[in-house]
Amino acid sequence: MTLEYETLTISRRARFVVQVEFNRPAVMNAINTQTGRDMVTFLQRVKEEDVRAIILTGTGAKAFSAGGDLKERNGMSNAAWLAQHALFEEMTVRLLECPVPVIAAVNGVAFGGGCELALACDFIYAAASARFALTETRLGIMPGGGGTQNLPRAVGMRRAKELIFSATPFSAEQAERWGMVNRVFPDETLLAEAIAAATRIAANAPLSVMQAKKSINAGAGTDLRTALLIEIEAYKRLVLSEDRHEGVRAFNEKRPADFKGV
Separation CA 52–CA 205 (nearest Å) = 9
Identify residue 92 by its one-letter amino acid code. Answer: T
Helix, strand, or coil here: 222?
A: coil
Strand partners, 196: none
Separation CA 39–CA 27 (nearest Å) = 18
Strand partners, 65: 110
Task: Please give the C-alpha separations between residue 138 and each of 42, 92, 111, 165, 189, in angstroms, as whole numbers.
Answer: 31, 22, 12, 9, 33
Q: Specify whether the backbone of 29 is left (phi greater than 0), alpha (psi in -120 to 50) or beta.
A: left
Contact 234, 211 (CB under 8 A): yes
Q: Which residues are marked as active site?
A: 116, 136
